[in-house]
Structure 1
């Protein structure tokens, strides 16, 4: 094991213990997180507005604090960005990060030291599972997707730069310094992917890769191949490479065939649901599943009717949207991430699979196509692309014709869609062939337009009416 990796893991040990403790009794630990959040922030502007001091139970918390989307925090967030203290959190804001979603513009997330520690708890549990079950992951340097910020830097009204320098800034300082020592770090330059490819090719014993989106990996793969003309697979180039960690569920799943082809015989591990706003689930290497990050933030499960429960009230097989309360000052925040509970173990810890973004439903004439259904149709048909709602029907943007006929048949399994096509309310699905790599170009365009990071951009599998222009031009 590398010395830097050993030091990194040792610095994470206290956080890993918290993760293990939380997983052993998730409901009790979650209640304690709620109690801590309320007591720490009862004298903030938000806490006074919502009577935190008088709340003594989860039911009272639900009654006092409505579930909110990011834009609903506007009145408080404006004051935080203006440099005021004690607005959302008693703890001082130490920085801001930005992110972009599939359905909206830029979001600016305040970062506190306690929030960094919350994030570290779940990740530490994951890293220590690697240590116990596959220690060879730490036998060489790692590459993490320290993706570049937007070319257009921005500042808060108070003059604070928005955007962390790199992903190590998500961790407390004592852990971040050890992480930096085990990472492959590309030189800063105009061409990020070219610089990263060169840094990787100089590293002979690369042992692990951790990125957010598989599309980010494929962009990196293209850059490596342009530098190394005889490049075949990552496993051949780096025989010590043990694992690629990335999103694998929902829309990310359609990229897995390309990813595995480029990788060769290297294990792919689902990353779980980690986002700028918080961590909802982390990998459990022993179970080969992702489990609720019980020791990080307060996690609620909201059903289709808008009713929320804690983990003790969730049911196997049900679909829920994740609602987070974090030490960054997002209280009962709608993540818009839709999850299915696959299992609940004897300690009450749920295993989760990401299904897609909640609320994405196209309804031109009453057909009600959801993104989750569209993803399932693509997986069954083998079609690879993006379905876009246009004025008089749907258009499928793809690099080839593979599976497109079958995709239309699968869409017709929705009786309302089939009826609308039969009656002429909707024209049959059109296919638009695009240049190779068009979806990767979409990611770059979206990141630049919203000021987000490349690895943080998720391409929807279903674009709603009027959304296409925000992603790409014909």
Structure 2
């Protein structure tokens, strides 16, 4: 298989070469992409309404969020007012905040994702682990809501037809998995398929917690799985599957790469995977959203480089000034405004980045969180970065999962953890002190507006939250667990949560 993998690398080489040339002159490349995107805008009804005649009119294009574009978007038609290109399909996002959004996909937007994949795959083949089997599991999210059956079925649906065709033989693809509407049946079928794939080399998922859920399922149902896999996998692997603490590296000795989110809120969970899979490259996804590919993790660059030949970027600093990609400073933080080839122009995606270093002549960007993720029950205005720092001070060494949730009745905060050394009571006391470093939180506590913070600890918490999010319309593989939830948890769900983990 190694020669075929190397041949694949050679097929991708011209695309990669063009991309690296673009990195040498980001200003020139971005000017060219801006013009290409502006030409589409001019031909669209949206552009005509705004009176855009050339790229010189760019400043007249308003910076918008999804709500501002929704009247132009939410038509579920083959042709919409935002782009002259036909719409292939609409994809639902399941971000960590706000209502569901439907993003239109055109052939050009799909090609942008395709281009990003080609550059990434080329870098892995040339600079990454020596792949020899090519066996790949790409995240499939179950369609647990029947209404979701129009969504992309797996990671590869973002790619062009030729690339999907080329990759199919290497895929670990359980039969009809995407047609299952029952979460446990989905977990069971996926566990069987992964366990049968002894030569599995690459796992590509979104949230690290998605993989953790399936590993937990395998551990908890090992006897049942062993019975079903009798005569289907080797005796020594059946033996590994029977151990009280399964060694995942013995089950998948060829595993070399796990691609998943690893920054901001996913950092702890990715770290958990690193300890479970020593010697495997756990590589961050870079910044990738349903709306657009934004950065590509490149081994050769030592970080994430922007997809500067497909997406036009503007960066807003804390004073509200906008900067081009070639004007960014190392160490500074910015909020992204993007324009892409599917009909989103000057779109506030809400992601914040920090410039880590430069590769060639282009800034490398690290995702640091959502812009203005703030929880405000009674005026305490807790901000995500502050909460993240407060939780770091608690020194939760054995914790891979943590999320702070506001609850309204009575107003207080609940910290959900998958495991911890200390008792919930001790952690709750420390948490209250750490949050009281915020003047507004401290005042709200002092005057009795906020009840003391509480802590719930259970290994089941991540899974219960996922089930709840799926029931409320999220897509499993893409669920993000924020460090700080910004809307209060419902009383009903809180009761259900306590009941599930056996607390009053």
Instruction: Please give the TM-score of this superposition, normalised by the length of structure 2.
Output: 0.84
- List aligned pairs for 1:52-67, cutoff 5 A: 52-56=52-56, 60-61=57-58, 63-67=59-63
- List aligned pairs for 1:302-451, cutoff 5 A: 302-345=316-359, 347=361, 349-383=362-396, 384=399, 385-391=402-408, 392-400=411-419, 402=421, 404=427, 405-431=429-455, 433-450=456-473
CA shift for structure 1 position 98: 1.3
- List aligned pairs for 1:141-160, cutoff 5 A: 141-154=135-148
Structure 2 counterpart of 1:234, from 224, 232, 248: 248
The match for 2:229 is none
Gaps of 5+ in 1: 155-160
The match for 1:454 is 476
Q: Does 1:259 align with 2:246?
A: no
What value does the CA root-mean-square deviation take over the aligned residues?
2.5
1:111-134 Cα shifts (integer Å, max 9, x gaps)? 111111111222222111111112
The match for 2:500 is none
Q: Does 1:71 align with 2:62?
A: no
- Secondary structure in 2 aligned to 1:316? coil
Q: In the aligned structure 1, how far is the partner of 2:199 from the partner of 2:193?
A: 12
Cα separation, partners in 2 of 1:73 and 1:263, compared to 1, 3 Å: same
- Secondary structure in 1 aligned to 2:146? coil
Larger Rg: 2
CA shift for structure 1 position 45: 0.8
Cα separation, partners in 2 of 1:287 and 1:55, compared to 1, 3 Å: closer
Q: In the aligned structure 2, how far is the partner of 1:10 from the partner of 1:454?
A: 35
Q: In the aligned structure 2, how far is the partner of 1:237 from the partner of 1:328?
A: 42
- Secondary structure in 2 aligned to 1:218? helix
Give yes or no for contact 1:19–1:121 (8 Å, CA) kept in 2. Answer: no
Give yes or no for contact 2:470–2:476 (8 Å, CA) kept in 1. Answer: yes
Q: Does 1:167 align with 2:155?
A: yes
1:384-408 Cα shifts (integer Å, max 9, x gaps)? 4221223433222234454624433
Cα separation, partners in 2 of 1:4 and 1:275, compared to 1, 3 Å: farther
Cα separation, partners in 2 of 1:380 and 1:65, compared to 1, 3 Å: same
CA shift for structure 1 position 409: 3.5
Gaps of 5+ in 2: 226-240, 498-504
1:227-275 Cα shifts (integer Å, max 9, x gaps)? 3333623222112111211111111112234323432432211111112
1:78-107 Cα shifts (integer Å, max 9, x gaps)? 34x134x25221111112211112212221
Q: In the aligned structure 2, how far is the partner of 1:40 from the partner of 1:401?
A: 53
- List aligned pairs for 1:88-99, cutoff 5 A: 88-99=82-93
Give yes or no for contact 2:419–2:458 (8 Å, CA) kept in 1. Answer: no
Q: In the aligned structure 2, how far is the partner of 1:210 from the partner of 1:438?
A: 23
**Higher mean C-alpha deviation, range 405-414 or range 189-198:** 405-414
Count of residues in Structure 1 that have an aligned counterpart in Structure 2:
459
**Higher mean C-alpha deviation, range 189-198 or range 224-233:** 224-233
Cα separation, partners in 2 of 1:202 and 1:286, compared to 1, 3 Å: same
Q: In the aligned structure 1, how far is the partner of 2:255 from the partner of 2:271?
A: 18
**Higher mean C-alpha deviation, range 285-294 or range 193-202:** 285-294
- Secondary structure in 1 aligned to 2:130? helix
Structure 2 counterpart of 1:246, from 260, 266, 271: 260
Cα separation, partners in 2 of 1:89 and 1:465, compared to 1, 3 Å: closer
Q: Does 1:214 align with 2:208?
A: yes
1:152-173 Cα shifts (integer Å, max 9, x gaps)? 225xxxxxx6312332221111
Cα separation, partners in 2 of 1:34 and 1:204, compared to 1, 3 Å: same
CA shift for structure 1 position 135: 4.8
Q: In the aligned structure 1, how far is the partner of 2:264 from the partner of 2:332?
A: 16
Cα separation, partners in 2 of 1:256 and 1:55, compared to 1, 3 Å: closer
The match for 1:277 is 291
CA shift for structure 1 position 72: 1.6
Cα separation, partners in 2 of 1:463 and 1:470, compared to 1, 3 Å: farther
